[in-house]
Chains A and B, each alone.
Chain A
Amino acid sequence: MKMDGGHIVCECLVREGVDYVFGLPGGACLPLYQALPDYPHLKHILVKHEQASAHAADGYARVAERPGVCFATSGPGATNLVTGIANAWMDSIPMVAITGEVSTNLIGRDGFQEADITGITLPITKHNWLVLKTEDLPRVIKEAFHVARTGRPGPVLIDIPRDVLATEAEFYYPEKVTLRGYKPYPKIDLVEVKTAAKLIMESERPLIMAGHGVILSRAYSELRELAEKTQIPVITTLLGISSFPGSHPLCLGMPGMHGMYWNNMAINSSDLILGIGMRFDDRVTGRLRDFAPKAKIVHIDIDPAEVGKNVRPAAAIVADVKQALRELVKEVSPRIRAEWFAQIQAWREEHPSITIRETSKLLPQYVIRKIFEATKGDCYVVTGVGQHQMWAAQNFWFDKPNSFITSGGLGTMGFEIPAAIGVQFARPNDLVWSICGDGGFQMTLQNLATIAEHNLPIKFAIMNNSFLGMVRQWQTLFYEGKLVATPLCNPDFVKLAEAYGILGIRVKDKVQVESAVEKAMRHKGPVIIDFQVEGEENVFPMVPPGASLSATMDLPKLEEAFIR
């Protein structure tokens, strides 16, 4: 059947099982938008800035476990996507971004709203395509979804000139993808599995470090089986949080820059680190040359390029995490390591790391703890980036798999609003809490209009300390308290909520926290709670930037906490 490029794109998306598309129209992609009413199952969610369409697609993809889709027009529409695509790239999120482009006769001539978006996104996509013929659209879209979701997932971009969208061609959706140079699933090396198992069995002080790859591979039960069978404690990286039950006795929580003191000490003493679906990021390792000085590394990752990139493993299983763990678990047997557990327990008791100090002041950690208690952890938690993100990672226990949605690699402030939109659309019947900073909240808040439009019942908890808090913390700790460009002059967030027709609640006192959280959860629609928290609270433990994990500064004693 003959149809124009816009209809062809929609037909392909329907065949790929897409139900939501996040976007904002413009001239170059109009032929695509004009086709949308003919596809009622393809629901378009209008955001107020293209960055939000990418983050919403990202949040959607994380919980729906399939590629998120976003649309933007050419030029500024496409460039506004860039932050969101880079975010998805760093966190390996499957995403298909579709941008309109100026007509083929204008490409390369600096046409109105022309930007070389395939050139711009080259380093932040798995692959991208500029489609010059309408008849190529089905093949390219099929390839794009295949590349985005297979192997190590990631974002892709399809740039489609206006005339290609407007021209008619015969529609035929290919059944197969042929990409000779794309080998997403390396063949597992069973000899390496045996070597890895031997190293694990020989170790006295082993640790599992579970990362995002466990979640992307949906290998929750395999990880649990391995940990329980071998009795090896599990550290979860920031993006590995919720890959393993937070309340499990073997779960040790987060390592690294704001990780638990006991984890950083354990890494220093460990003789074997089993990294699963993680990439030894600098926030995890601290100063790389001092990382795990006594440990042999066993690395499991689907991406061969991650192996040996930051640390040299003694054994490496290059495979999908689920498959690797299924093979590995066959080769290992239980072993009791009482001394090692006692040592970790001793560190925990000496340095509890996440004790919330007794005070009448409103502490952000306390607020997050109360949200945890009220929800019993049965919700999705979306965060932005900064202090509130670290406090959420530390003070919430995630038993529900894949329930912590955060911007890890790129560290994108402003993620918390649009990503929550995507999460809520993907899980309409689940509770979504977005824990926000007052700085990041203001980076994407125009999208509150989208939340109001769809009456998405997201609960926003702003940890409002009137600072760009994490930067302020660095200035306090490492720049003699010289606060440059970090104090914020904030709007009235309650009035702001009301301007959008959203319920706004202000909380200034500790005693109001529980009732505010309960009120928010009873309310059927979206809520914004402005928690006016203690301004200069710092996130501890902390490894100073560039230092090794052994330099972990633990929570200061009560009296020290008040000294600036």
Chain B
Amino acid sequence: MNNKHTIIAFVEDKPGVLNRIASKWRQRGFNIESLAVGISETPGLSRMTFVVDGATTDVDQVVKQLKKLINVIKIVDITDEDMVSRELALIKVSANPPARSQIIEIVDIFRAGIVDVSKDSLIVEITGDEEKVNAIVELLQPFGIKEMVRTGKVSMLRGGQVSASLDEEEPVITD
């Protein structure tokens, strides 16, 4: 059963913030399958997308524990939302002249691209959901994958809804 949860978090872009988040994951024994971080549309805020396996990790606790971190501005589990998810992979494949045309054929079918060519290898760039990337990796395997790098998954809600507006709650400020 696929019980993977996609969680997005908006976090302050400050030194050590990733360490705080990773420290929580480690301390509480949360198992994180993939992670992607980058700047967001809001200056000073980074956006993280990460995937948690709900079969081994209490996802509710992941969200609640991270929400307690002061540098985490917003965190939501968007698994049940209608979203677009992508990851990117660069795959360096052995490509002697006889194999080259077969590889190009596979790349075309997947609408992937070739971004570097040398005399005995190619770098294939593929963007897609996890299944698509897995599929091309499997097909390229027989040629000999010399090197591969994959980003974690990034996700965005479809339609006009903005991720940052999800689950808005009014904090009560008293001191």
Contacts and interface: CB of A to CB of B under 8 A. Distances in A.
Interface of A: 118-119, 122-123, 126-127, 130, 146-147, 149-150, 177, 179-187, 303-305, 307-309
Contacts of B169: 183, 186-187
Given A150-B175, A183-B171, A118 B16 contact: yes
B69 interface: yes
Interface string B1-26: 00000000001100010011001100
Contacts of B170: 187
Contacts, number: 58
B70 A127 contact: yes
B27 A123 contact: yes
A303 B67 CA distance: 11
Contacts of B135: none
6 contacts: A122-B19, A122-B23, A127-B69, A186-B169, A305-B61, A308-B61
A181 B72 contact: yes
A186 to B, nearest CB: 7
A187 B23 contact: no
Tell which of A123, A181, A308 has the most Cβ of chain B within 10 Å: A181
Contacts of B149: none
A305 B68 CA distance: 8
A308 B60 contact: yes
Interface residues of B, number: 27
Given A181-B69, A181-B73, A309-B61, 18 more contacts: A118-B16, A122-B19, A122-B20, A150-B174, A180-B73, A181-B72, A181-B74, A183-B67, A183-B169, A183-B171, A185-B174, A186-B169, A187-B169, A187-B170, A187-B171, A304-B64, A305-B67, A308-B61
Given A123-B23, A309-B61, A185 B172 contact: yes
A179 B70 contact: yes
Contact of B70 (A122, A130, A181, A304): A181
Contacts of B68: 126, 303, 305
B62 to A, nearest CB: 10
- Give the dominant DSSP class at B's interface: mixed
Nearest to A122: B23
B27 A304 contact: no
Contacts of B71: 181
Interface hub of B12, B68, B69, B72 (most chain A Cβ within 10 A): B68
Given A123-B23, A181-B12, A147 B70 contact: yes
Q: Which of A126, A147, A184, A307 has the most CB of B within 10 A?
A: A184
A123 B68 CA distance: 12
Interface in B116-175: 169-175
Interface of B: 11-12, 16, 19-20, 23-24, 27, 60-61, 64-65, 67-74, 169-175
A184 B69 CA distance: 11
Given A181-B69, A303-B68, A186 B19 contact: no
Contacts of B175: 146, 149-150, 177
Contact of B65 (A119, A177, A184, A305): A305
Contacts of A187: 169-172
Nearest to B23: A122
Contacts of A307: 64
Contacts of B173: 185
Contacts of B70: 126-127, 147, 179, 181-182
A184 B174 CA distance: 9
A114 B172 CA distance: 40
Contacts of A119: 19
A305 B69 CA distance: 12
A30 B68 CA distance: 34
Nearest to B60: A308
A432 B68 CA distance: 36
Contacts of A123: 23-24, 27
Nearest to A123: B27
Contacts of B23: 122-123
A149 B175 CA distance: 8
Nearest to A119: B19
A126 B170 CA distance: 21
Contacts of A305: 61, 64-65, 67-68
A119 B22 CA distance: 12
A119 B16 CA distance: 9
A122 B20 CA distance: 7
Nearest to B15: A130
Contacts of B27: 123
A428 B169 CA distance: 44
The 7 closest A-B pairs by CB, nearest first: A183-B171, A305-B64, A185-B172, A181-B73, A123-B27, A122-B23, A182-B70
A187 B170 CA distance: 7
Contacts of A126: 68, 70
A155 to B, nearest CB: 14
A122 B22 CA distance: 10
A123 B170 CA distance: 27
Contacts of B12: 180-181
B171 A185 contact: yes
Contacts of A179: 70
Given A123-B27, A181-B72, A303-B68, A186 B172 contact: yes
Contact of B67 (A146, A185, A304, A308): A304
A127 B72 CA distance: 12
Contacts of A304: 64, 67
A130 B20 CA distance: 13
